[in-house]
């Protein structure tokens, strides 16, 4: 079997178009411009790339982008003061504090200081609890993007066996909650799971989010399964020349694509969905703040 390649890049472009169209209507009909504030502390190169990309796509969607770049030595108290200021700013509907934060800061405290209604990452403990109890919340962007891709490919997910490999607060746990919300039978597996290949072979839906390059092999996959690869790992690629590298996922794409029914590539699969869902969450937060109808199809 040769798997269908799930084109996350094209799907994300459609989500962004949908967001932009809704933003345009908000502006025209209500004079409202959704605004996203992104806070970056320090100069982590990967974070700088993400933040630049978020700012660019926010503006392209017609929204206001507020970037706050703070030096690495910023005190936690100063960061908390900025978060509180953004909480009180009516032009800001979404707040994202880029992680990881420098070691001298308590990331949980910072995240839990964000107004939950503006927590477009869905990391605030209130949103975690709301999602876990099936209530309306802000949903973490990467799992939301994965859910959209799965529904698009499979339609109703009810009754399917879903295995999520990885138990992070950012991806694994919220992904499992979303799949449970769609009535899947959900297993959360991780690096300590006994006979992980056998557990994975039971999956109709396999979501890999462990951060280990090419760990999930083709013979771990049930024939015809839908495989969502959340991993983004940079590995050496001497075949491309000395000192060269390439991006791979947590799934060994070559062997997996021989067995799976459908699979997301890396890059071009889940990655582009994360920022598209951040824009969607910002729009949703804005609509909720203003008591306006939420856009259809952009929330679980
Ligand atoms: N760092 C890497 N991914 C993310 C994300 O989704 N949100 C935030 N805030 N920081 C990140």
101 occurs within a structural domain: yes
19 occurs within a structural domain: no
Task: Indicate if 101 and 154 belong to the same structural domain.
Answer: no
Task: Indicate if 163 and 230 belong to the same structural domain.
Answer: yes
242 occurs within a structural domain: yes
Residue nearest to ligand 1 atom 3, measured at CA = 99
Q: Is residue 47's pLDDT more than 70? A: yes
Q: Which residues line ligand 1 (CB under 6 A)?
A: 96-99, 121, 141, 170
Number of domains in the chain: 2
Task: Indicate if 110 and 167 belong to the same structural domain.
Answer: no
Mutation pick for ligand 1 pocket among 37, 86, 121 (CB with most ligand atoms within 8 Å): 121
Mutation pick for ligand 1 pocket among 58, 79, 98 (CB with most ligand atoms within 8 Å): 98
Task: Indicate if 111 and 165 belong to the same structural domain.
Answer: no
Cα-Cα end-to-end distance for the chain: 31
Interior/surface letters 125-145, b for 16+ CB within 10 angstroms, e for the rest: ebbbebbeeeeebbbbbbbbb
Task: Indicate if 147 and 260 belong to the same structural domain.
Answer: yes
- Tell me the per-residue pLDDT of 198-210, one tens digit each, with 9 for 90 and over: 999 999 999 999 9
How high is the mean pLDDT of the chain? 97
Q: Is residue 217's pLDDT more than 90? A: yes
β-strand pairing of 35-41 with 64-70: parallel
What is the DSSP code (8-state) at residue 37?
E
Task: Indicate if 152 and 111 belong to the same structural domain.
Answer: no
Helical spans, DSSP H, in the chain: 8-30, 45-60, 76-88, 107-113, 125-132, 141-154, 172-181, 196-201, 253-256, 271-290
8 Å CB contact between 11 and 267: no
Task: Indicate if 110 and 159 belong to the same structural domain.
Answer: no
294 occurs within a structural domain: no
Task: Indicate if 150 and 266 belong to the same structural domain.
Answer: yes
Structure tokens at 64: 């206001």
Answer yes or no: 85 catalytic: no
**Three-state SS at 155:** coil
pLDDT band at 79 (very low <50, low <70, confident <90, very high): very high
pLDDT band at 257 (very low <50, low <70, confident <90, very high): very high
Task: Indicate if 145 and 267 belong to the same structural domain.
Answer: yes
21 occurs within a structural domain: no
The parent domain of residue 193 ranges over 141-271
Task: Indicate if 111 and 197 belong to the same structural domain.
Answer: no
157 occurs within a structural domain: yes
Structure tokens at 80: 């908390």
Output the CA–CA distances (angstroms, integers) from residue 90 to 10, 39, 287, in the order listed.
Answer: 33, 17, 13
User: Prior bond to 7 cis, omega within 30?
Assistant: no
pTM over 0.75: yes
Query: Which among 277, 267, 231, 284 is positioned nearest to 14, based on CA atoms?
Result: 277
pLDDT band at 180 (very low <50, low <70, confident <90, very high): very high
Task: Indicate if 111 and 203 belong to the same structural domain.
Answer: no
What is the DSSP code (8-state) at residue 119?
B
Query: What proportion of the chain, given as a percentage, has pLDDT over 70?
Result: 100
Q: Alpha-carbon distance 61 to 18, whole Å?
A: 9
207 occurs within a structural domain: yes
For the chain, how long is the longest CA-to-CA vector? 56
Answer yes or no: 119 catalytic: no
256 occurs within a structural domain: yes
8 Å CB contact between 166 and 190: yes
Domain containing residue 43: CATH number: 3.40.50.10860
pLDDT band at 1 (very low <50, low <70, confident <90, very high): low
Query: Which among 275, 216, 218 is positioned nearest to 248, based on CA atoms?
Result: 216
């Amino acid at each position: 079997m040769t798997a269908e390649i799930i084109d996350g890049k094209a799907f994300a472009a459609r989500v962004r178009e949908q967001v932009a169209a809704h933003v345009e209507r908000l502006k025209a009909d209500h004079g409202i411009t959704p605004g996203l504030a992104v806070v970056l502390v320090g100069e982590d190169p990967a974070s700088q790339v993400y933040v630049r990309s978020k700012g660019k796509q926010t503006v392209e969607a017609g929204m206001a982008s507020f970037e706050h770049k703070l030096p690495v030595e910023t005190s936690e108290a100063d960061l908390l003061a900025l978060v509180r200021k953004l909480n009180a700013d009516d032009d800001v509907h979404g707040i994202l504090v880029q992680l990881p934060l420098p070691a001298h800061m308590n990331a949980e405290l910072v995240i839990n200081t964000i107004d939950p209604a503006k927590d477009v990452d869905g990391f605030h403990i209130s949103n975690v609890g709301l999602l876990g109890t099936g209530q309306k919340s802000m949903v973490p962007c990467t799992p939301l993007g994965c859910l959209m891709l799965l529904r698009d490919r499979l339609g109703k997910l009810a009754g399917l066996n879903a295995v999520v490999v990885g138990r992070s607060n950012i991806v694994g746990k919220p992904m499992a909650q979303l799949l449970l919300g769609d009535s899947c039978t959900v297993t959360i597996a991780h690096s300590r799971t006994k006979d992980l290949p056998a557990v994975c072979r039971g999956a109709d839906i396999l979501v890999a989010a462990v951060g280990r390059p090419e760990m999930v092999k083709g013979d771990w996959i049930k024939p015809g399964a839908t495989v969502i690869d959340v991993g983004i790992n940079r590995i050496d690629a001497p075949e491309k020349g000395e000192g060269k590298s390439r991006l791979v996922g947590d799934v060994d794409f070559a062997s997996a694509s021989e067995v799976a029914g459908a699979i997301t590539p890396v890059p071009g699969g889940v990655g582009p969905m994360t920022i598209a869902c951040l824009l969607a969450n910002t729009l949703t937060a804005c609509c909720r703040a203003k008591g306006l109808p939420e856009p259809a199809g952009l929330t679980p």
